[in-house]
């Protein structure tokens, strides 16, 4: 069937076109200058302008109506709008950290900004995809840029190891996803989610081929979002990658991966297979427990937050399962989106603090290194405390309300045991989130931020902390707005 490209298609994908065009600006100027790097601040501003333009266009042309482009391969609905803007905002914050982090600034900053915008382009494709092949294209566009950026770090050992591990296991996950896609195409004759949206529930029962396919696709995403037992790459890659890229992966990459995962779960396939439904529930519980338990044992701050992110993937999976079995899926999906909004601010802020304490590309920040920070830098210590308390789910921070909406949706669908396990896991998590706070305020030490300029990173930290408090205070209207956009 011949698909004609219309003006409306081009208007809808204008955020992606804008990102692509702006991404070319820094490297083109570098070439025209005889391969000499322009002022890094100018390069940063160019990148931020591209992200802002894309976010504005996405907000204008996406919405609850759910317009589609390119023969229904892309859909621009509430999920696209919210998840895309979260990812672009997280990318902007991470890019600010890249500008001042010793592992990333230097003679290749134009290439870093180009790859960041290219990765963000893949994220927008992924978040709006309604076709399994488009999801694959989005995943690879996003991931290939990340592999390169991690490998380009000035750190000479851990970053190279992290890039290789991420590349190999990322490729393995993509292969599993494609294998599942082939099964689904063989059983339905289509890779478009809209085509088999209504029939997926019955196909899982009647077609063993479709069941295998949807299972492999789900396993592929479990790798991408660090669901146990497919999580082993996460702590090593998060630790080895430059801290701004770790922030980028933990916020933007996780957001868009869950967006695509949500679209697949929304086909209601879980309702047709009790076994698949049960396995996903157990994976959610095990992920929450393993992530929080392993984080207790860590002294390296980045590894601790990495295991914490695994636990948070378990919480979000509870919301996905709820959306997958709910007659009115918007409540479960709204909980997922709201949680990802809160998680982006919390995690970006936490990694920004870690980035500020790195004097060189080889610096390793441990929990004990925070001793004395409250005395020397009281504002930064307060901000870090807010991030940690929000990650732990302590009111009145937005992290508490994020968990509240997720678990409330689960209870509403009769998944009480999942909500109970989620709350118990959160209690376990409180221990290791409080540990850095105790070290900052109760122990004497020489904690100090790096000597180089950190003005932009400081602004990022302050904005994140303020947003966490404000979003917690107005969580009700925001959640209502998210829910309305999905109806």
- How do residues 77-105 score in pLDDT, each as one tens digit? 888 888 999 999 999 999 998 888 887 77
What separation in angstroms does the CA of 292 have from each of 191, 236, 311, 390, 399? 37, 16, 6, 15, 16
- Whether 212 is covered by a domain: the verdict is yes
Tokens, residue 251: 């916020």
**Largest CA-CA distance found in the chain, in angstroms, rounded:** 71
Is pLDDT at 333 greater than 90 in this prediction?
A: no
Confidence of residue 328 (pLDDT cuts 50, 70, 90): low
Mean pLDDT taken over the chain: 86
- How do residues 236-288 score in pLDDT, each as one tens digit? 888 888 888 999 999 999 999 998 888 888 877 777 778 888 888 999 999 99
- Whether 422 is covered by a domain: the verdict is yes
∠ CA 378-340-287, nearest 5°, is 95
Mention every residue, 6+ apart, whose C-beta is less than 8 A from residue 114: 23, 24, 26, 27
- Whether 2 is covered by a domain: the verdict is no
Mention every residue, 6+ apart, whose C-beta is less than 8 A from residue 89: 51, 55, 344
By the 8 A CB rule, do 67 and 3 touch? no
Mention every residue, 6+ apart, whose C-beta is less than 8 A from residue 433: 308, 388, 389, 391, 392
Q: Which candidate, 322, 209, 218, 225, places its Cα nearest to that of 271? A: 322
Is pLDDT at 342 greater than 50 in this prediction?
A: yes
- Whether 50 is covered by a domain: the verdict is yes
pLDDT of amino acid 451: 63
- Whether 151 is covered by a domain: the verdict is yes
Is pLDDT at 163 greater than 80 in this prediction?
A: yes
H or E, element range at 74: strand 74-76
- How do residues 417-466 score in pLDDT, each as one tens digit? 888 998 999 899 888 999 999 988 888 877 777 666 678 888 899 999 99
Q: Which candidate, 91, 150, 113, places its Cα nearest to that of 26? A: 113
CA separation for the pair 171, 21 (Å, rounded): 27
Domain residues for 111? 7-486
Confidence of residue 373 (pLDDT cuts 50, 70, 90): confident
CA separation for the pair 72, 193 (Å, rounded): 9
DSSP, res 253 = I
Global pTM value: 0.91
9-25 b/e with 16+ CB inside 10 Å = b?
A: beebbbbbebbbebbeb
Count of Cβ atoms closer than 10 Å to residue 97 Cβ = 27
Is pLDDT at 3 greater than 60 in this prediction?
A: no
Is pLDDT at 162 greater than 80 in this prediction?
A: yes
The count of domains in the chain is 1
- Whether 1 is covered by a domain: the verdict is no
CA separation for the pair 280, 319 (Å, rounded): 11
Tokens, residue 198: 């209504």
CA separation for the pair 218, 229 (Å, rounded): 13
What is the average pLDDT across 173-186? 90
């Amino acid at each position: 069937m011949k698909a004609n490209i219309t003006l409306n298609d081009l208007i809808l994908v204008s955020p992606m076109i804008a990102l692509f065009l702006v991404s070319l600006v820094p490297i083109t100027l570098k070439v025209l200058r005889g391969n000499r790097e322009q002022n890094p601040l100018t390069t940063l501003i160019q990148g931020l302008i591209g992200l802002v333009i894309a976010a504005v266009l996405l907000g204008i042309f996406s919405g609850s109506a759910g317009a589609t482009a390119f023969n229904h391969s892309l859909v621009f609905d509430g999920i696209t709008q919210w998840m895309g803007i979260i990812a672009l905002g997280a990318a902007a914050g991470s890019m600010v950290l890249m500008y001042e982090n010793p592992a990333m600034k230097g003679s290749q900053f134009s290439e870093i900004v180009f790859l960041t915008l290219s990765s963000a382009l893949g994220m927008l494709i992924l978040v709006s995809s309604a076709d399994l092949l488009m999801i694959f294209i989005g995943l690879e566009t996003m991931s290939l840029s990340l592999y390169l950026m991690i490998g380009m770090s000035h750190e000479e050992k851990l970053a190279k190891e992290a890039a290789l591990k991420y590349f190999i296991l990322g490729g393995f996950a993509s292969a599993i996803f494609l294998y599942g896609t082939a099964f689904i195409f063989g059983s339905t004759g289509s890779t478009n989610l809209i085509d088999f949206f209504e029939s997926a529930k019955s196909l899982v029962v009647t077609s063993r081929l479709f069941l295998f396919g949807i299972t492999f696709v789900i396993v592929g995403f479990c790798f991408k979002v660090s669901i146990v037992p497919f999580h082993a790459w996460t702590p090593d890659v998060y630790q080895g990658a430059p801290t701004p890229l770790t922030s980028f992966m933990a916020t933007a990459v996780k957001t868009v991966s869950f967006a695509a995962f949500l679209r697949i779960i929304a086909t209601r396939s879980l309702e047709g297979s009790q076994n698949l439904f049960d396995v996903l529930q157990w994976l959610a519980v095990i992920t929450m427990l393993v992530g929080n338990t392993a984080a207790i044992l860590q002294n390296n701050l980045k590894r601790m937050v990495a295991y914490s992110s695994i636990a948070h993937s378990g919480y979000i999976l509870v919301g996905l399962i709820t959306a997958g079995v709910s007659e009115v899926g918007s409540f479960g999906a709204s909980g997922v989106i709201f949680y990802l909004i809160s998680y982006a601010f919390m995690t970006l802020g936490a990694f920004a603090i870690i980035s500020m304490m790195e004097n060189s590309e080889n610096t390793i920040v441990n929990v004990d290194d925070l001793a004395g920070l409250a005395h020397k830098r009281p504002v930064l210590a307060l901000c870090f405390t807010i991030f940690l308390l929000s990650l732990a789910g302590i009111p009145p921070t937005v992290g508490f309300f994020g968990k509240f909406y997720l678990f409330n949706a689960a209870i509403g669908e009769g998944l009480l045991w999942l909500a109970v396990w989620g709350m118990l896991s959160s209690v376990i998590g409180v221990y290791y989130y409080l540990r850095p706070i105790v070290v900052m305020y109760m122990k004497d030490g020489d904690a100090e931020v790096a000597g180089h300029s950190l003005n932009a990173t400081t602004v990022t930290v302050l904005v994140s902390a303020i947003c966490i408090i404000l979003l917690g205070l107005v969580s009700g209207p925001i959640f209502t707005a998210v829910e309305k956009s999905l109806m």
